[in-house]
């Protein structure tokens, strides 16, 4: 009888934790996809992005026709093509001038990629504030993970049937 | 009847293995790459070359032809820059190659933008015409600075990713376009992105061309062996 009561109480506590989390979660953020959300996805005019690069279309064309030409070559042949263009290379996922890696906030790096994200922010930006944000993200992600595990283990333990 | 069921099961299993086998067997990718960036101050960065990645060697190799002939090797959390096979500099890398888009492509696993394995939760799915829009909600943690992420896909191909801040303002938008289907995997050959900072925007276009999957031979193109210490 005592064992049954204890089990029931444990299940109740686990359910309570789940529902409290769900309540806190739904009260803070809307999970529905609004009309604005759909519009932001479907109605973005990507021609804005292509238009931003209109000034480099001549260089594009030149490099397609003259494969292998370097910045130095073109500066001697047709310097006007290089107006406003940096002489240094950039790689995908390199840090932006705004102290954000890939334009993604440091907190998210820590939160999504854990210690790797933290290391990324630290190495790339060499900025203490951004590294702290990544650390916060890392800690938050770990805490959420631990809470989730505790709840799952508690629920699993209480629903296991023992036979003696 | 039982034999019929067994035959159908066997057929399904074979189909599954064949389809799965295509993507599982993709281990290396090579493509021409062009990266264009327009910074907030309206200056441009333009980079052109070839990119190679082999999941076994875990190195992303950029053989750049413009603006200068140089080679960048992204390995672990570092990027090594070489000119004429001589190490020029070493700097921190934003992403380990195992987390790069090239790994996702080879895994045929870019449809959810990697959010499935993050602390974000898929909380809603809507269909708008032929687009499937998934809302990924940030963890319910006080002071979490980021908001929802919207991921849209069409015919199981990732189309766009929109990242919001906590005030529901868009801070980053990425569009994946011009897919090509090679060796059983979907490859976006154009990635457009806009980032928004304090009312200003920066733009980026990444284009892939002449994509090759599982190129035979040419191992040295995928496993660049040079010194890692300046001499």
Whether residues B150 and A37 touch (CB distance < 8 A) is answered with yes
Q: What is the distance between the alpha carbons of residues A115 and A137, in angstroms, rounded to a whole number?
A: 10
Residues in chain B within 8 Å Cβ distance of A48: 194
Averaged pLDDT, B4-27? 52
More confident: B163 or B2: B163
Report chain B's mean pLDDT, rounded to a whole number.
84
- pLDDT value of position A81: 93
- pLDDT value of position B6: 56
Instruction: Of B158, B160, B161, give the one whose Cα is nearest residue B186.
Output: B158
pLDDT tens digits, residue range B179-230?
Answer: 999 988 999 999 999 999 888 999 999 999 999 999 988 888 898 876 666 5
Residues in chain B within 8 Å Cβ distance of A98: 40, 195, 197, 202
More confident: B231 or B111: B111
- pLDDT value of position B114: 73
**Nearest-CA residue of chain A relative to B118?**
A112
- Angle in degrees, 0-180, between the axes of helices A106-125 and A128-159, rounded to the nearest 10: 140
- pLDDT value of position B13: 43
Averaged pLDDT, B9-35? 65
What string of DSSP letters covers B140-207? --TT--EEEEEEEEETTEEEEEEEEETTS-EEEEEEEEEEEEETTEEEEEEEEEEEEETTEEEEEEEE
pLDDT above 50 (res B26): yes
Q: Could you say which of 2.50.20.10, 2.170.130.10, 3.40.50.150, 3.40.30.10 is the CATH number of the domain covering B27-222?
A: 2.50.20.10
CB proximity A1 to B under 8 Å? no
**In chain B, what are the domain boundaries?**
27-222
> Cα–Cα–Cα angle for A137, A142, A145, nearest 5°?
125
Considering CB atoms only, which of B36, B99, B131 is closest to A41?
Answer: B131
Averaged pLDDT, B104-113? 82
- Residue A131 structure tokens: 């590294």
- For residue B62, give the 3-state DSSP assignment: strand
pLDDT above 70 (res B84): yes
Whether residues A68 and B65 touch (CB distance < 8 A) is answered with yes
- Residue A35 structure tokens: 């009309």
Entry field: residues in chain B: 231
Whether residues A100 and B148 touch (CB distance < 8 A) is answered with no
The stretches in chain A having pLDDT less than 70 are 1-3, 5-6, 8-9, 11-30, 93-105, 115-116, 118-130, 159-164
- For residue B7, give the 3-state DSSP assignment: helix
pLDDT tens digits, residue range B64-79?
Answer: 999 999 999 999 888 8
- pLDDT value of position B10: 47
More confident: B80 or A104: B80
What HEC string does chain A produce?
Answer: CHHHHHHHHHHHHHHHHHHHHHHHHHHHCCCCCCHHHHHHHHCCCCHHHHHHCHHHHHHHHHHHHCCCCCHHHHHHHCHHHHCCECCCCCCCCCECCCCCECCECHHHHHHHHHHHHHHHHHHHHCCHHHHHHHHHHHHHHHHHHHHHHHHHHHHHHHHCCCCC
- pLDDT value of position A139: 79
pLDDT above 90 (res B118): no
Share above pLDDT 90 across residues of chain B, in percent, rounded to a whole number: 48
- pLDDT value of position A72: 95
Residues in chain B within 8 Å Cβ distance of A53: 36, 38, 44, 203, 205
Most confident of A109-113, B41-45, B145-149: B41-45
- Angle in degrees, 0-180, between the axes of helices A2-28 and A128-159, rounded to the nearest 10: 150
pLDDT tens digits, residue range B153-167?
Answer: 998 899 999 999 888
CA distance B144 to chain A (A): 8
Query: How many Cβ contacts (< 8 angstroms) between chains A and B?
Result: 204
């Amino acid at each position: 009888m005592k064992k049954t009561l204890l089990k029931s109480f444990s299940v109740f506590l686990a359910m309570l934790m789940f529902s409290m989390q769900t309540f806190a979660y739904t009260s803070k953020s809307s999970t529905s996809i609004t009309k604005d959300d759909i519009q932001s996805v479907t109605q973005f005019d990507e021609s804005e992005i292509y238009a931003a690069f209109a000034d480099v279309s001549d260089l594009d064309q030149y490099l397609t026709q003259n494969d292998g030409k370097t910045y130095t070559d073109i500066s001697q042949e047709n310097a006007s093509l290089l107006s406003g263009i940096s002489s240094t290379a950039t790689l995908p996922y390199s840090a932006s001038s705004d102290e954000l890696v890939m334009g993604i906030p440091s907190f998210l790096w820590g939160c999504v990629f854990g210690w790797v994200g933290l290391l990324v922010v630290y190495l790339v930006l060499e900025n203490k504030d951004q590294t702290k944000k990544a650390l916060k993200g890392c800690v938050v992600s770990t805490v959420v993970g631990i809470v989730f595990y505790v709840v799952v283990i508690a629920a699993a333990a209480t629903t296991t049937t023992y036979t003696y | 009847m039982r034999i019929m069921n067994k035959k159908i099961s066997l057929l399904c299993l074979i189909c599954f293995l064949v389809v799965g086998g295509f993507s599982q067997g993709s281990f290396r990718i090579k493509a021409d790459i062009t990266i264009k960036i327009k910074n907030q101050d309206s200056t441009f960065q333009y980079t052109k070359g070839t990119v190679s990645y082999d999941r076994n060697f875990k190195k992303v190799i950029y053989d750049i032809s413009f603006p200068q002939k140089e080679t960048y090797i992204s390995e672990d959390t570092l990027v090594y820059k070489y000119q004429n096979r001589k190490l020029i500099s070493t700097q921190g890398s934003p992403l380990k190659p195992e987390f790069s888009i090239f790994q996702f492509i080879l895994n045929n696993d870019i449809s959810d933008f990697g959010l499935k394995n993050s602390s974000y939760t898929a909380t809603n799915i809507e269909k708008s015409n032929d687009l499937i829009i998934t809302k990924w909600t940030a963890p319910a943690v006080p002071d979490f600075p980021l908001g929802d992420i919207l991921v849209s896909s069409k015919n199981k191909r990732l189309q766009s990713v929109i990242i919001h801040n906590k005030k529901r303002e868009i801070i980053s938008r990425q569009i994946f376009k011009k897919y090509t289907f090679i060796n059983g995997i979907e490859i976006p050959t154009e990635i457009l992105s806009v980032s928004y900072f304090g009312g200003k925007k920066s733009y980026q276009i990444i284009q892939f061309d002449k994509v090759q999957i599982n190129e035979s031979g040419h191992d040295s193109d995928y496993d660049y062996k040079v010194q890692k210490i300046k001499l």
